Amino acid sequence: MGTQVQNKAFTPGKIAGLELRNRIIRSGCFEGMCQDGKVTDQLIEHHRRVAEGGVGMTTVAYCSVTFDGRAFGHEMWMCEEILPDLKRLTEAVHKEGAGASIQLGHCGFFASRSEIGKRPIGASRKFCLFRLSVCTEMTEAEIEEKIEDFARAARQAKEAGFDAVEIHSGHGYLLSQFLSPWTNHRRDNYGGSLENRLRFPAAVIRRIRETVGPDFPILVKMNQRDGFKGGIELDEAIQIAQRFEAEGASAIVPSCGFTSRTPLYMMRGNVPSKEMAANQTNPILKLGLILFGSFMVQTYPFEPMYLLEGARRFKDALSIPVVYIGGILSLDDMERAMNDGFEFLEIGRATVRDPDFVKKLEKGEIRESDCDHCNRCIATMDAGGVYCVSEEEGVLRT
């Protein structure tokens, strides 16, 4: 048995009007557990188990604000029909003493045409290698409609008992597609200058704040960098974060990467092309991963706290909390983040590896995760739901 660990990460923390038992948040790790777009018992148990494992709050990922924002059949979308089951999920998490957040977004140009039954929409007409499809440019009327869809989804999340929402404005999702020069080639008031590219995402945050009230936590996940030439870079990202703060964001989660172009940039580590191909039901994508996996999914070496330098820039530029995300694996990593002035931490793979990761750290039973960043958990999302493949094989932990 270990000794109770004294670390600021294990002390209570507050985001807007919400106080959490500690400063550790389970990040939005796509679960692949919403078959037919519905909340399943598997999803509820997954988050109940993470809450039992000691996090201050767990984040349900990914919930599209509308049906046409889905990339897979096992992604949920916010509608009245799923609210009773979402309520069951939040109640299960609350019984374990943790808060519950839900990640709201829209896939934009990499939504699946076969799932949504029409051509995807995006900031501009754009070919998506991930989908081998071309989206249509959103009209101003569609933009206004989506602003209201985000606000409605946030209101419904609050009704379902969620303690916070995390708005996905990074990773190449729809709001990110408007922000990034690589996907936004518009010549109207929503394209060109950063002010114009910010217009839609900023309006979404502002409208959500009007809808949920002054004290309800709105976290915004966004990119420090897109990860390629012609995308968002750090200096612009800081300006974007400042605008989000001005529009009512309660906290910023500065991540990185573009799902449709640099998907492993946000995670780092090994690329499980073989496993992803084996679990892919689309024959074209399966063949593509087999033949061109190294081209479609680049490799980025993992190192602990790989987003720290950029995150410090965000912290220095903002008054609201900056949630550190990116490669936290140990007590030492947590201590370093706390000493740097970050008020909250988001952790993903270490809790997939072991749902009791946080509890074991706090009790002094372990000092670090033994996750080896093989990333094979990514492939399991398309094979019935995310889990640690190494754990199943008995690898690493004895």
Domain CATH for 254: 3.20.20.70
Catalytic residue, chosen from 62, 173, 265, 324, is: 173
User: For residue 287, what are the domain limits?
Assistant: 8-393
pLDDT of 121 > 50? The answer is yes
pLDDT of 284 > 60? The answer is no
Instruction: Read off the pLDDT band of 397 (50, 70, 90).
Output: very low
Between these two residues, 12 and 280, which has the higher pLDDT value?
12
Instruction: Read off the pLDDT band of 259 (50, 70, 90).
Output: confident
138-157 per-position pLDDT tens digit = 999 999 999 999 999 999 99
**Is residue 173 among the annotated active site residues?**
yes
Q: For tokens 């919930």, what's the residue?
A: 63
Instruction: Read off the pLDDT band of 260 (50, 70, 90).
Output: confident
134 in a domain, yes or no? Answer: yes
Helix, strand, or coil (residue 59): strand
271 in a domain, yes or no? Answer: yes
Instruction: Read off the pLDDT band of 26 (50, 70, 90).
Output: very high
Single pTM value for the model: 0.92
State how far Cα 153 lies from the chain centre: 16
Sign (positive or negative) of CA dihedral 308, 310, 311, 315: positive
Between these two residues, 32 and 15, which has the higher pLDDT value?
15
Distance from C-alpha of 360 to C-alpha of 148, rounded to nearest angstrom: 42
pLDDT of 296 > 60? The answer is no
pLDDT of 295 > 90? The answer is no
pLDDT of 181 > 60? The answer is yes
3 in a domain, yes or no? Answer: no
Q: Report which of 121, 133, 47, 6 is spatially closest to residue 352, judged by C-alpha positions.
A: 47
Instruction: Read off the pLDDT band of 32 (50, 70, 90).
Output: confident
Contact call for residues 180 and 226 (beta carbons, < 8 A): yes
pLDDT of 126 > 50? The answer is yes
pLDDT of 5 > 80? The answer is no
398 in a domain, yes or no? Answer: no
2 in a domain, yes or no? Answer: no
Mean pLDDT value across residues 105-123: 93
Number of domains in the chain: 1
Instruction: Read off the pLDDT band of 342 (50, 70, 90).
Output: very high
State how far Cα 374 lies from the chain centre: 19
Mean pLDDT of the chain: 91
332 in a domain, yes or no? Answer: yes
16 in a domain, yes or no? Answer: yes
